[in-house]
Structures are given as C-alpha cells and as structure tokens.
Structure 1
C-alpha cells in the first residue's frame, strides 16, 4: 500500500505543498502543462532550489502583477465554472472543487452567510487557484492509497488579509481544522493557511504522529519565512506492507467518544445510533452500567476517525440528554478483509472473510443480506444462517 504522509511540524500552505510534492518526485513538466488547462489570465511560475535553517528543498512560487493578483474577487460559482470548463481530468476537477467547497463553506460559517454570498479574496486570486488545483494534480499523479498527517502547527500572532488584521489561526482556517489535532505558538506568524488547511481536511484519511510505514522518498517544500523552526513542509512517500505472511493486522488511529446517560427514553436510542452512523461513525454501541445511587444507565460509545469527531459530538449534544462527553485517541486494529458472493436457493448473500498473516481465519455472512432474504422468502433468519453454516457452494467476487 502506497502511503503519503504530511509532516506539518512547521504548518502547511499551498505553495509549500507544491514545493514538497515536486521535491518528492512529481514531474514539473506534468504539473506546469496541466495547470495551463485553466484559463485564469497571465502568471509566471518559478521553481527553484532553496533552503531554510540548513534544510534544502524546492520553492514553488506563482508570480503575478499587482493588478492581476488583486482585481479578482471570485465566488464559488466563478471558480467552479473555471474548473469545469477546463480540460483537466474528471478526477482532478472533482478534488479541486471539493477543496474550494471546503474553503467556501468554512468562510460562510465564519461570516454568517450562504456559500453563494461568499467572495473569495486571497483564495480567489490566481496564485491560490494554482495552489489548489496544483494540489489536486499532484495527489492524482502520486495516486497514494492512503494519505496521513501529523498534528498541524498553526503558528501565532496575527495575519493581515482582506478583512483586516485577524488572529492566528485565521477563523476560516481553524473552522476547517475542527476535529483535527493541532499545535500552536511555535513562532509568532501564521504557519497554516486556509489553502493548507483545506488540503488536509479534504484529503487526509487519518492524523497520527506515529509513522508505521517504510519511507522511500522524502520531499521538502520551502516556505517564505526564515523562522527559528525551519519553515518547510516535509512529505514522506512510503509503503505499508499488509499482505505478506507474518505481518500483523493493520492498525489505524481513531477516536473513542462516550457519554453516560440515565435519564433518556430508551426508544430514542435507535434514532441517535442511526444519526451517528449516517455522520460516519465506524461503530456505535450501548453498554448497561450502574451509576451513583445505583441508578441503571447506559454508556453510549462511538468509534470514529479524527475528521468525524466533532460531527459525533454534535449529534450527542443535540439528540441526547447528556451534559458531558469524554473522548480519547485509540489505536484500532483490523483484519484484512475480502468480500465474496454466495449463491443460495433463496438468492445471493455477501460473505465477509478475515485474513491474518496471509491466511483466511474466519468468515461470516452479512446480516443485512440474510434479513432481506428471510423477509422476501418468508423464512426465519435462523434458517438462512444455518443453511450458510452448512456450506452452500458459491462464487467469489473478490
């Protein structure tokens, strides 16, 4: 499995990301040729070797005239049209639009208006459009199976933008980083920009400071400042071996979010659990407990990835009676899984198989399929399960 890892010890910006991507091995000719497919006016791209605090890497810079960089205040519809009318691949268009949508939604929440009313100032300028679409192009070029990131350094102090002087992190930046581990105060400057925050929020599968893969290439993207901490973004491209005999089951970071409830109508739990699963929870379960004064209660537990943590908390605040939550990061270990389809006299059933150290060690039918068949054919679920347990010949779907 190919892994791309963002090491954001010095934050992340759009230009640092592109510099690191090129330093990692993305073909500059590919990137420059693809960027020409967007018709956004005149600009010049400068790619050169540079260094910060003795660390050498690649500096990516978009050069525009002062007039070109300040005259455009595009909205999401304008940017969407630019991308959709280009000759970029559908995959790159889709990711570019998701990145801009993430920024637009964050700006809308901060300013208390709709997405359609938002005018992109800095992010609508030529250099920022290049940074966003360039990020999509580089990710498509590398085709990593999994994107990971460390905690994100935000910096400190204030930043000057179209709305005036704002605290660091800028409101839209921290809005996009909700549910993502961050650090701050390393230097009194902005270290993570809205573009950098969007790249992480949209593309990273999980956030962890533990690297459990084999690095094969390392790239450094050089930033504009010369700070005490090297102003560079470090990217790793590596391999995570999962399928070789002798390997353990795959691990990934997750969050456990819980609350104890002793005063809610039990009929409401089904709706709450459904809402949590719809928001992206990996697992939801109830555990009977005894609270103080021997009151019977339940612990409602949710396992989710870091990007979904805030969504889970929001459901619990609005749809349960709890006044408090607790959460902690956990390591989730999972067997490698494959699905196959088994033909039965009642119809096809999906089987899930678990593998450990290269060997299949367990299988089970998908309960939803068994339930559907039982209802359609007027038989009990137990009868369907027993038929499968007896060994019905089937065909694999991989």
Structure 2
C-alpha cells in the first residue's frame, strides 16, 4: 500500500476506516489523494474525528509526506482501500496478526497515459469513494449486489440513491453532533433512528451498517412499513446479517414507538405519505429529519382546480410545467412549515437526476420551540401569503394544525 500511495502517477485515492478490535485510533476515517496546487503537486491527507475533518497537504517527495504517511499506516485502522489507475486493493484486519487482502482489476476507459488525462490526476469529476462498497454484505443480502459482491446492473440506480442518501445522513449527523443539536449516543442510550415507509429496508440496513460499523456509533434502527411482507423479509435479512434491527407493521401516521426517535428518515414516501412522515417527526420533536419526497399529486391536483393567480398563467397552462411547479411549491411549503415548527431547513439535491427524477432532499435540524408560528411572525406571514396566492391547502399544514 505504501508504494502505491507514494506513486503520484498511479494513485487515485486511498481510504482507511474503522478500528481494529480493542484499539482506539485517533481518526475514524482517513482519505488520501494527490492534488494540484499553485506550489505543485501535493499529497492531500484528510483525517476525520467524531465531528470534523482536518486536511493537510504535503509536497511530493518531501520528508514530511513520508513521515505523515508512515504514521497513518501504523495506526490500528480496520480497513484500507487503495485505488490506483489499474487496480483496487482492499486490506481488512481480521485479528492483530492476520488480514484479508483482495485485489480487483480496473478496466481502462480509454484515457490515461496513452489517451488523455491521467486517472490519478486531481479532478473534481472523479468518482467519489463509497461510504459502503458495492461488495458490502448489506448490499449482497438485499440483492443489490450478487454473491461475489458485484453490483447488479439493474440495481445501479437503487445503490446510488442509498449511497447518496447515506452521504447526506453522515454529514447531517456530524453537523448535528458538533453543534449539540443531537445528543452524543452511548451504549446505554444509543442513537434511535426510524425509517418511515422503509419498504425492503435498503436505507434502514445501510444506515445501521454504516453508522454502527464504519462510524462506530451506538445505534438502534427501526423500520416502519404498512406491508406485513416487508417486515417479514426485513426480519429475515436482519437475522442473516446478524444486526439488531426492528421492523414494525403500521402506517406512518399511526405507528407507535416505545421511545421517540432521534433521527427520522423517509426515502421516497409517496405523495402525502411524506407529509405524514414530517408530521410524525415534528410530533416526536425529532432532532434530525431527512426526507426525500416522491410524487406530489396533492398540490398538483389543487393547482388544476384553482384559478391561477396573475401573472402566472403560463406556469400552469402546460401540463409538464404545472407538474414541476407543483413539485417546487409542495417542497417549498413543507420547508416553510418545518421552519414554523422550530426547524432549520435546507433543501438540496441528493442524487443525480439520471438515477432518479425524485432527487430533492429536505434536511431539517430542530433548533428549539416554534419559530414565527404566530400570525404576525415573518415566517408564518410568508407562508400565509404563499398559500393564499395559489389557493392551496397543504396536507402537512392540516397535520400540524397550522
């Protein structure tokens, strides 16, 4: 690994994570790659503790680079993945004296030394290092990858959705822990995560696997779905993986949990099911909420029935524009209602549109009591003017009693 990492013409990236049993390394994750700076090519080392990242750039060939790398390689990290222009090598510690080493070839895309930009060149377009590799047992058990750990072509979109949602979850949890908005979990009081409308548990299992095994956070996950078949399937997968996950049969708006969750997730709950999920999160006063809405039929239907306010007739005259407006209006209203309910809200794109057209994510962190909920509050005033102008009555507003 050392020789591969020290070769700037070969290395694409090197990533280390986890800890060997009975050890406590100073970092939970390490990322290494070469970058082009004004002063020339440098090896960039980014280390992550429980709450933040630290980046250091070392000139190629300098003694500081070698010393920094050797220090990292001496740490009792559990897993290294070193990707070069020709192969990917994974080293996983099994005992203090043994490791599992696997190497796979990387097919050339026709570029590189003979045809264009070097694969090791520092590029913002390079594929991201995966939080959970395609070969992870979770994806094999869920049927996203085959028994040999290769991603099934037909499941690529689902894998990308889960991976990018997981990336957003990872960043949101780090930020919330760092700001004190989310309590620090312990073995006695693990982080309670609920996945509303979990379906076949893709996100439930991926979140449990990443947070518990990679980030080493004490977590307990619960999946909720209306289908008995989903609960039975997911329970069997949990047993196969040997993980502590609970699955409950029930509707999002009717499910009862023993304890209120710390984190509420909802991936593509259809139409007003997303409103149900957001309303439950607010009722639970969940510190962190991540929801990726699906279809937006409710507001779209209301727009078809209500007269379009002037001068916006061109936005609803054509069906496709009206649908896109309904999507934007619905999620804008949801964000506003969450703010009124005491949350700081960001609306972001969490995955590329080629993987799914439903790629908007509402990321909400509870900041305290209701903000601007009174009639004269600025947030409430903006919301009232918006729904009055368009003549719509959002389902989430009814659920929240606003």
TM-score grouping bracket, smaller chain normalisation: under 0.3
Question: TM-score scaled to structure 1, two decimals?
Answer: 0.26
Higher Cα Rg: structure 1 or 2? 1
Question: TM-score scaled to structure 2, two decimals?
Answer: 0.26
